[in-house]
Every structure is written in structure tokens, then in C-alpha cells.
């Protein structure tokens, strides 16, 4: 089973993830002769408390992805109404470190865009993606494993 194994510090488990234009958007762009921007690698904090994967707005804009909507997001620090965040159609790929292991890919995923200031991360890897993986966290050893089929 392909896997990523890592150690984590005070911020928690962080994983490199490639973010790009969603597959439906790529097809639309190709049909119009538009160039598809290359994926970018971002560092996401594994967050089992986040419903939805969230990416820093600056990265979504750098990919040229247009917001597809707005969603209210409630956190422990927001009120009952929540804060509005733009939603984006994106693709996501997690590379396996061993040669020959296939990456984990989600070709169409709705993510939230949000500003991340002085956090040392580019976003949160939420349960929408984690539900497609096997996550093991070894707190005493400060290690984690992400596996996929």
C-alpha cells in the first residue's frame, strides 16, 4: 500500500500536496485552446477537525482558478453565522516517496480559499480528503502515516 511517513513538531503533521486545476476545468480550458497552469506544491496541516480542505487564497489565484461560489465557514473562533470563504474547483495529488508507488489523486474537489497569515502552512487537509486515506498518528513518537490503495 503506498504511504507517506513523517514526523511532526508543535504545529502537528504537515504533508506536501500538489494542487492544480480540476479535471472538469482542464477539459473546459483545453476545448478553448487555453493553457493549463502547472500544479503547485503546498504544505497542508492534517486537520481531522476540518470538514473541508482549505488552501491559501494566494495559491488559488496563482493557479488562475476562478471562485465557483461562497460558503459560510464556522470555526471555534467564529460566531454562529460563520465567515464567508470562496470555494474553488481543484485537483489534488499526494506523491508516494517510493519509486513506482502510485500517487493518491482526487481530480475534482471543492476546496475553500482562505488567507493564512504567519501560520507556516499553506492550508488544511480536511476530512473530505482524509476520508479517502488511512491516517495513523503516533502521538508519543510524533509520527504519522498516510496510506492509500
Mean of per-residue pLDDT scores for the chain: 92
DSSP tag of 93: E
**Residue 79 φ/ψ region, left for φ over 0, alpha for ψ in the -120 to 50 degree band, beta for the rest:** beta
120 band by pLDDT with thresholds 50, 70 and 90: confident
Phi, psi of 27 (to 5 degrees): -60, -45
The predicted model gives 59-82 an average pLDDT of 82
Q: What confidence tens digit (pLDDT) does each residue in 7-50 have? A: 999 999 999 999 999 999 999 999 999 999 999 999 999 999 99
For the four alpha carbons of 75, 9, 126 and 109, in that order, the dihedral sign comes to: positive
User: Which pLDDT belongs to residue 39?
Assistant: 96
CA–CA gap between residue 140 and residue 37 (Å, rounded)? 41
The CATH class that applies to domain 16-133 reads mainly beta
Q: What confidence tens digit (pLDDT) does each residue in 130-139 have? A: 999 999 999 9
CA–CA gap between residue 24 and residue 89 (Å, rounded)? 9
User: Which pLDDT belongs to residue 140?
Assistant: 97
User: Which pLDDT belongs to residue 116?
Assistant: 86
Specify the pTM.
Answer: 0.91
- Domain assignments of the chain as residue spans, ordered by start: 16-133
Amino acid at each position: 500500500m503506498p504511504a507517506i511517513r513523517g514526523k511532526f513538531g508543535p504545529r502537528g503533521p504537515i504533508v506536501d500536496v500538489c494542487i492544480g486545476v480540476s479535471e472538469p476545468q482542464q477539459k473546459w480550458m483545453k476545448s478553448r485552446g487555453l493553457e493549463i497552469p502547472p500544479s503547485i506544491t503546498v504544505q497542508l496541516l492534517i486537520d481531522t477537525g476540518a470538514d473541508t480542505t482549505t488552501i491559501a487564497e494566494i495559491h488559488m489565484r496563482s493557479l488562475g482558478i476562478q471562485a465557483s461560489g461562497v460558503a459560510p465557514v464556522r470555526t471555534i473562533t467564529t460566531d454562529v453565522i460563520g465567515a464567508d470563504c470562496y470555494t474553488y474547483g481543484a485537483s489534488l495529488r499526494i506523491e508516494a516517496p517510493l519509486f513506482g508507488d502510485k500517487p493518491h489523486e482526487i481530480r475534482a474537489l471543492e476546496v475553500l480559499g482562505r488567507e493564512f497569515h504567519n501560520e507556516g502552512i499553506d492550508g488544511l487537509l480536511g476530512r473530505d480528503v482524509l476520508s479517502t486515506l488511512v491516517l495513523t498518528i503516533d502521538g508519543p513518537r510524533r509520527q504519522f502515516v498516510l496510506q492509500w490503495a
